[in-house]
Structure 1
Amino acid sequence: MIETVVLDVGETITRDDRYWHSWADWLGVQRHTLSALVGAVVAQGRDNADAIRLARPGVDVAAEYHAREAAGRGEALDESDLYDDVRPALSRLRQLGARVIIAGNQTSRAGDLLRDLDLPADLIVTSGDWGVAKPHPEFFQRVLEVAQAAPERTLYVGDHPANDIFPAKAAGLRVAHLRRGPWGHLWADDPEVVAAADWRIDSLTQLASTVAN
């Protein structure tokens, strides 16, 4: 029985559209161009920040991030960035008695923005808050510490095999691969992902059955 459900953020809880559009506008490239570059680095299994480096060779991504913040064009997040199934799915999980945690590779600023949305979750935390990011094993040790449940009773939900599915499984957690976003769709039928995932889902509303049974 699953007692705690832990969910990734990007392309699990939130759409990445605004994130990439804002970067394209900042870099002065067409939005569809940067989107295509994101798709290319995803297909190659590279860090998605490489799309920014391809759009502007030699760019210091961290420095540009801080420059955007200083210019008032930094991270933004509101209700429109949430997938439609997020609130009903998380509410249902809590009704069923599950502890619900949101934990992903985001900045501390993104964590603050998510917490401001008053989501039906017991805890929202980011890699920026913890000082360690996926797929590092320490991230998933932190997940287990806050889960307040045994690894086999803790479910991690995400779209990215290398950041979510494989390291969570290696840490002893149960895992659900979400077919959502470029990573979720690209690797949906990959044999290694299929073998590693305890569940393969198309919507967060399907998670209720993992807790109810």
Structure 2
Amino acid sequence: MPIRSVVFDVGETLMDDTTFWGSWADWLGVPRHTLAVLVGTVTALGQDNAEALRLVRPGFDLVAERQAREDAGKGESISEADLYPDARPGLDALRSAGLWVGIAGNQTARTAELLANLDLPVDAIATSGQWGVAKPDPGFFARVVDWAPGSPDEIVYVGDHRDNDIIAAKASGLRTAHLRRGPWGYLQADDPALKANADWQVDSITDLAPLLS
């Protein structure tokens, strides 16, 4: 079955999360290296990354703290420098090959606005904050199937995370491409469950167009 659509995760797939975690370290008043180590630790333990923030500040409320940052003028920000170098050319190559390209990840509605401001070569952008459902919930991927052109087996979901991206998308009938990048991408690259559920495994977004077109 030919591929019609390619949909991308955001964090550590298209976007380097260094600025994201650095801004949280600054907000919480801890050295950036400290939070980076904590994020790596909870990742290795298989926990959600937000647990690193709760280690720094017990009882941490992510929603409330996001709002507090916005109110203080220190809210979310995304610039061209936050994109991985292969993101823009890789997306452009897929569109040039005639594929529909989308971005859909576990981010806030504000992140969707910030990504749209970058004028990336994509057909559409959506986030869990807009949809009201987050990965790995099957409802998220049901939204992807309704949103992107093609039947599930004509849609490829690209991400770095074994459970949230590859296994969950595959369980919903999509094709999957694992990107060996970021803490999760490297840590889980040789995991048998990931290997069993990934149709492709790549080291760069620019590898995808020749494989999928």
Fold-level similarity (TM above 0.5): yes
Asked whether 1:203 is paired with 2:209, we answer: no
Overall identity of the aligned pairs, in %: 60
Match of 1:75 in 2: 76
Measure the CA separation in 2 of the matches of 1:187 and 1:57.
28
Report the Cα distance in structure 1 between the residues aligned to 2:61 and 2:146, rounded to whole angstroms. 34
> For this pair of structures, how many residues does the alignment match?
212
Distance (Å, rounded) in 1 between the aligned partners of 2:65 and 2:123 = 33
1:121 maps to what in 2?
122
Whole-angstrom distance in 2 between the partners of 1:177 and 1:190: 11
RMSD: 0.8
Cα contact 1:78–1:117 (8 A) shared by 2: yes
Unpaired segments of 5 or more residues in structure 2?
none
**Deviations 1:35-94 (CA, angstroms, capped at 9, x unpaired):** 000001101111110000001122222211111110000100010000111111111111
Cα separation, 2, equivalents of 1:19 and 1:87: 19
Q: In the alignment, what sits opposite 1:137?
A: 138
Question: What CA distance in whole angstroms lies between the structure 2 residues aligned with 1:189 and 1:83?
Answer: 23
Q: Secondary structure at the match of 1:135?
A: coil
State the distance in 2 between where 1:58 and 1:144 align: 36
Runs of 4+ in 1 over 4 A off after TM superposition: none
- 1:170-209 matched pairs, under 5 angstroms: 170-209=171-210
**Is the contact made by 1:6 and 1:103 (CA closer than 8 Å) also made in structure 2?**
yes
Give 1:142-153 correspondences, 5 Å limit.
142-153=143-154
C-alpha separation between the residues in 2 aligned to 1:191 and 1:179? 14
Give how far 1:2 is off. Answer: 1.1
TM-score (norm 1): 0.98
| Cα deviations by residue, 1:106-129 (Å, 9 ceiling, x for unpaired) | 000000000010000000110011
Q: Write out aligned runs for 1:20-169 (5 A).
A: 20-169=21-170
Distance across 2 between alignment mates of 1:79 and 1:165: 26
1:14 match: secondary structure: coil
Task: Give the SS at the match of 2:177.
Answer: strand
Stretches of structure 1 that go unaligned for 5 or more consecutive residues are none
SS at match of 2:190: coil
What do residues 144-164 of structure 1 show as CA deviations (whole Å, max 9, x unaligned)? 011110111110000011110
C-alpha contact 1:53 1:61 (8 A) present in aligned 2: no
User: So what's the TM-score if we normalise by structure 2?
Assistant: 0.98
Contact 1:85 1:203 in 2 (8 A): yes
